[in-house]
C-alpha cells in the first residue's frame, strides 16, 4: 500500500471516514444498526450490553449533562469549590450581640503563663480560649483556634496582644462592656492617680472565689524551685519609683525583659484579679532565655546573683548606657558612689614587721555601686556551757562600720578603706554575705543581724560635703523589704541521711497600714515588727526618708516628685 501524501484526505486512501472529534465517551457508543453490520456474532439476535457497561454509560451520561449545565451558567468546577468556602461574619446578627458570652468560664482563665500556642508553640498572633483557657495561634479558617471552635464548641477567644474578643467560627468581633474585667486581667492598666494612691489608701480586694487579699501583697507561685526569683521580684515591686515607672510608662517598644517585668508588677498590684496569687512563668522564661538557663525554674539559684544579673539587664532593657551613669530608672534609684582608699600590704622593718595603713602610700579612687556588701564576723566554733549551739548575733551598725572610712578591709595583697559619698541614692540595697564556697565545701554563717528599729542613720558613713548636706542633719533610711533565709533539714540517703534545703522568705512593709507582711511562695501572713531581725537576713531594701521640708511626712518618698525625676 502506497504511503498517503500529506495533502490527500484519509478517505481517498483508506476508504474510511475521518477520525471523530474528541468528545465524551457517550458519543462513541455504537447504536444497534452498527452492531448488526459488524462481524460480531449475534446468534440470530442483538447482544445485550453487560450490566457493568450499562452502569458506566449511565454515569457518563449524568456527567455529560452536568458539564453542559455548567457551560450554560458560565462557572467551572474550581470556581464552584471556591464559592462553597464558609463565609465569615463581620458583625453579629441583629439581636444576638451577647451570643456565646454566657459560656465564658472566668474561674479557669490564667493569663500568667507564656503566650505560646498549645499546638504549634508559636508566640505570634496568639488567642486564648475563654472557655478552657488554652492558647491557640490565629483565628482564620485554617487556624488552630478555628478548628478548636469546631471540634470542642468553644466559641469566644481573645487576642493576647490587642485584647480584642472574637467569636469563632463566625469570625466577628465582640464589643461588650461585660468583657472589660477579662481585658483588665490580661493587661492591667493604671492611671497616675491610681498609682499615687497605692501606698496611701488601704485597699482590700476579693477574688472570684471570695478570698480576701491585699493588692501588692499576694502569693507568687513556686513552680518548682524558683523561690529565689519570687522574693527578689517582690522586693523590687515595692520600690516605689521603679514600680511607678513600670506601671505608667509605655514599654511596648522595649525588649521583652522590660515588658514582661512591667506586666508582672501590674498584676501584683491588680485590685481586680481573678485569683489571689500570680505566677511568674512568663518572666521566668524570658530570664532563662537571656541568661542561658543560668536562672530557671527547675534549679534553685542565689538571690543576690540573680539580683545583680537582673538589675544590669533591666538597666540596658530600659535604655540605659553601659558607660554613662544615671541613664535609666534603675541606676537613678539604686546607684551611688563611694571613695576607696587602697594600699599595698608590705612588711616594714622599722615598725617591727607590723602592718600599718600609711596615708602617704594610699591610692584613692571613686567607684560606683548598686548594692553594699556587709561582712559577718566568723561564727563561733564551740558550744556554750549547756552543750547547745550558740546563735551568734551582731548589730547592723557594727557591720556597716565597714564604710566609715576608718576601718581597713584586707583583700588579697591590698588593704582598703571605704567611705560613701554624697548624694546617697534614694534606695540602698544591703547584701549580708552569709555564704562562702571553696573547692571542697559550702558554708553558711548563721549569725543574726539585729537592730532596735527598722530605720538607720547613714550620716556617719558618708564623707562630709557641706555643699550637698549639712553634717549635723541625719540621713535616715527606713526598711521596706527584707529577704531572709531558712535552713530546712530534709531526708537525703546519699548524704548521711539528711541534707539542708534553702527556703527563702520576703518581709514587706505595707505603708498604708503601717504593717509588715511575710510572703513565702503562696503563703501570705502578717508578722509583728519585733520579729523582723530574728531571722537570717540576706538582702535588705532601705528607702531614704524624706523630711517635712516639702510638705510631706517622713514616709512620703513614693510621691510623684520622684516619679518625674526618675524618667529618662
Nearest alpha-carbon partner for 443 in 492, 386, 388, 376: 376
Model pLDDT, residue 165: 94
Q: What is the C-alpha to C-alpha distance for residues 435 and 175, in angstroms, rounded to an integer?
A: 56
Q: Are strands 372-375 and 427-433 parallel, antiparallel or unpaired?
A: parallel
Q: Does pTM top 0.75 for this prediction?
A: yes
**Which 3-state string (H, E, C) describes 194-217?**
HHHCCCCCCCCEECCCCCEEECCE
Q: pLDDT by residue (tens digit) across 285-327?
A: 999 999 999 999 999 999 999 999 999 999 999 999 988 999 9
Nearest alpha-carbon partner for 529 in 537, 542, 518, 540: 518
* Sequential pLDDT tens for the chain (568 residues): 455 555 555 555 555 454 544 444 444 444 444 434 444 444 443 344 444 444 444 544 554 554 444 333 333 433 344 344 566 776 666 655 677 898 999 999 989 988 999 999 999 999 999 999 999 999 888 899 999 999 999 999 999 999 999 999 888 899 889 999 999 999 999 999 999 999 998 889 999 999 999 999 999 999 999 999 999 999 999 999 999 999 999 999 999 999 999 999 999 999 999 999 999 999 999 999 999 999 999 999 999 999 999 999 999 999 999 889 999 999 999 999 999 988 887 765 454 444 565 655 778 899 999 999 999 998 777 666 555 557 889 999 999 999 998 888 887 778 889 999 999 999 999 999 999 887 777 888 899 999 988 999 999 999 998 888 888 899 999 999 999 999 888 776 665 667 788 999 999 999 999 999 999 999 999 999 989 999 999 999 999 998 654 433 333 344 344 444 333 3
What distances in angstroms separate CA 332 from CA 201, 315, 320, one per listed residue? 27, 10, 10
Question: How buried is residue 184: exposed, middle or buried, by Cβ count under 10 Å (0-12/13-18/19+)?
Answer: middle
For residue 372, give the C-alpha cell.
553594699
Model pLDDT, residue 390: 73
Q: What is the C-alpha to C-alpha distance for residues 107 and 394, in angstroms, rounded to an integer?
A: 49
Please, are residues 185 and 128 in contact by the beta-carbon 8 Å criterion? Answer: no
Rg (CA), the chain: 39
Question: CB-based contacts of 481: which residues, under 8 Å, 6+ apart?
Answer: 234, 235, 238, 239, 506, 507, 508, 509, 539, 540, 541
Model pLDDT, residue 296: 92
The domain made up of 101-185 has a fold known as: Herpes Virus-1 (3.30.40)
CATH class assigned to 335-550: alpha beta
Question: How buried is residue 216: exposed, middle or buried, by Cβ count under 10 Å (0-12/13-18/19+)?
Answer: buried
Q: What is the C-alpha to C-alpha distance for residues 355 and 378, in angstroms, rounded to an integer?
A: 22
Q: What is the C-alpha to C-alpha distance for residues 122 and 137, in angstroms, rounded to an integer?
A: 7
Helices and strands per DSSP (H, E), number in the chain:
15, 25
What distances in angstroms separate CA 95 from CA 36, 98, 157, one per listed residue? 72, 8, 20
**What is the number of alpha carbons within 13 Å of residue 73 lying toward its C-beta?**
10
Q: DSSP states of 78-116 as a string?
A: HHHHHHTSPPPPSSPPTT-TTTTGGG--GGG----S---
Q: pLDDT by residue (tens digit) across 196-206?
A: 999 998 889 99
Question: CB-based contacts of 232: which residues, under 8 Å, 6+ apart?
Answer: 303, 306, 307, 310, 483, 539
Q: How many CB atoms lie within 10 A of CB 45?
A: 6
Q: At what angle do helices 256-268 and 240-248 cross, to 10 degrees?
A: 110
Model pLDDT, residue 474: 92
For residue 269, give the C-alpha cell.
498590684
What stretch(es) of the chain map to CATH 3.90.70.10? 335-550
What stretch(es) of the chain map to CATH 3.30.40.10? 101-185
Q: What is the C-alpha to C-alpha distance for residues 73 and 463, in angstroms, rounded to an integer?
A: 95
Model pLDDT, residue 170: 87
For residue 140, give the C-alpha cell.
482564620
DSSP state of 189: -
Q: What is the C-alpha to C-alpha distance for residues 475 and 243, in angstroms, rounded to an integer?
A: 23
Distance in angstroms between the alpha carbons of the first and the last residue of the chain: 102
For residue 438, give the C-alpha cell.
571553696
Model pLDDT, residue 401: 92
Q: Which helix (H) or strand (E) holds 73?
A: helix 51-73
Please, are residues 34 and 27 in contact by the beta-carbon 8 Å criterion? Answer: no
Amino acid at each position: 500500500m502506497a504511503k498517503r501524501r500529506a495533502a490527500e484526505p484519509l478517505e481517498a486512501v483508506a476508504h474510511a471516514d475521518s477520525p471523530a472529534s474528541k468528545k465524551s465517551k457517550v458519543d462513541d457508543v455504537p447504536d444497534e444498526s452498527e452492531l448488526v453490520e459488524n462481524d460480531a456474532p449475534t446468534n440470530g439476535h442483538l447482544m445485550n450490553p453487560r450490566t457493568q457497561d450499562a452502569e458506566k454509560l449511565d454515569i457518563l451520561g449524568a456527567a455529560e449533562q452536568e458539564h453542559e449545565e455548567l457551560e450554560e451558567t458560565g462557572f467551572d468546577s474550581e470556581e464552584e469549590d471556591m464559592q462553597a468556602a464558609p463565609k465569615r461574619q463581620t458583625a453579629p446578627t441583629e439581636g444576638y450581640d451577647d451570643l456565646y458570652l454566657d459560656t465564658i468560664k472566668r474561674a479557669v482563665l490564667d493569663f500568667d503563663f507564656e503566650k505560646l500556642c498549645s499546638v504549634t508553640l508559636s508566640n505570634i498572633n496568639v488567642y486564648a480560649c475563654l472557655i478552657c483557657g488554652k492558647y491557640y495561634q490565629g483565628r482564620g479558617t485554617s487556624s488552630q483556634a478555628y478548628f478548636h471552635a469546631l471540634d470542642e464548641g468553644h466559641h469566644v477567644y481573645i487576642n493576647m496582644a490587642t485584647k480584642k474578643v472574637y467569636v469563632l467560627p463566625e469570625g466577628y468581633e465582640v464589643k461588650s462592656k461585660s468583657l472589660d474585667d477579662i481585658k483588665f486581667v490580661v493587661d492591667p492598666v493604671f492611671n497616675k492617680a491610681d498609682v499615687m494612691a497605692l501606698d496611701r489608701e488601704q485597699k482590700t480586694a476579693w477574688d472570684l472565689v471570695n478570698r480576701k487579699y491585699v493588692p501588692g501583697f499576694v502569693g507568687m507561685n513556686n513552680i518548682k524551685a524558683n523561690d529565689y526569683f519570687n522574693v527578689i521580684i517582690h522586693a523590687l515591686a515595692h520600690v516605689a519609683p521603679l514600680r511607678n515607672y513600670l506601671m505608667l510608662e509605655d514599654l511596648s517598644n522595649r525588649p521583652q525583659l522590660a515588658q514582661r517585668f512591667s506586666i508582672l508588677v501590674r498584676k501584683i498590684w491588680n485590685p481586680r484579679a481573678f485569683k489571689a496569687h500570680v505566677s511568674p512563668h512568663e518572666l521566668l522564661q524570658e530570664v532563662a532565655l537571656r541568661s542561658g538557663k543560668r536562672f530557671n525554674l527547675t534549679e534553685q539559684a542565689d538571690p543576690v546573683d540573680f539580683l545583680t544579673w537582673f538589675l544590669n539587664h533591666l538597666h540596658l532593657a530600659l535604655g540605659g548606657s553601659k558607660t554613662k551613669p544615671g541613664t535609666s530608672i534603675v541606676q537613678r534609684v539604686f546607684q551611688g558612689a563611694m571613695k576607696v582608699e587602697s594600699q599595698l600590704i608590705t612588711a616594714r622593718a622599722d615598725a617591727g614587721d607590723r602592718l600599718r595603713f600609711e596615708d602617704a602610700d594610699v591610692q584613692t579612687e571613686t567607684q560606683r555601686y548598686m548594692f553594699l556588701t556587709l561582712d559577718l564576723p566568723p561564727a563561733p566554733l564551740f558550744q556554750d556551757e549547756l552543750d547547745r549551739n550558740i546563735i551568734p548575733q551582731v548589730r547592723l551598725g557594727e557591720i556597716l562600720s565597714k564604710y566609715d572610712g576608718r576601718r581597713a578591709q584586707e583583700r588579697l595583697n591590698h588593704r582598703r578603706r571605704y567611705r560613701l559619698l554624697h548624694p546617697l541614692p534614694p534606695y540602698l540595697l544591703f547584701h549580708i554575705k552569709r555564704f562562702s564556697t571553696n573547692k571542697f565545701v559550702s558554708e553558711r554563717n548563721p549569725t543574726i543581724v539585729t537592730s532596735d528599729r527598722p530605720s538607720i542613720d547613714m550620716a556617719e558613713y558618708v564623707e562630709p560635703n557641706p555643699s550637698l548636706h549639712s553634717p549635723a542633719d541625719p540621713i535616715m533610711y527606713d526598711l521596706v523589704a527584707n529577704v531572709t533565709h531558712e535552713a530546712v533539714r530534709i531526708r537525703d540517703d546519699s548524704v548521711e541521711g539528711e541534707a539542708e534545703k534553702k527556703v527563702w522568705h520576703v518581709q514587706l512593709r505595707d505603708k498604708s497600714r503601717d504593717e509588715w507582711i511575710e510572703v513565702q511562695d503562696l503563703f501570705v501572713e502578717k508578722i509583728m515588727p519585733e520579729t523582723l531581725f530574728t531571722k537570717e537576713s540576706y538582702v535588705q531594701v532601705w528607702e531614704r526618708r524624706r523630711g517635712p521640708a516639702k510638705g510631706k511626712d517622713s514616709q512620703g518618698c513614693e510621691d510623684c516628685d520622684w516619679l518625674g525625676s526618675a524618667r529618662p
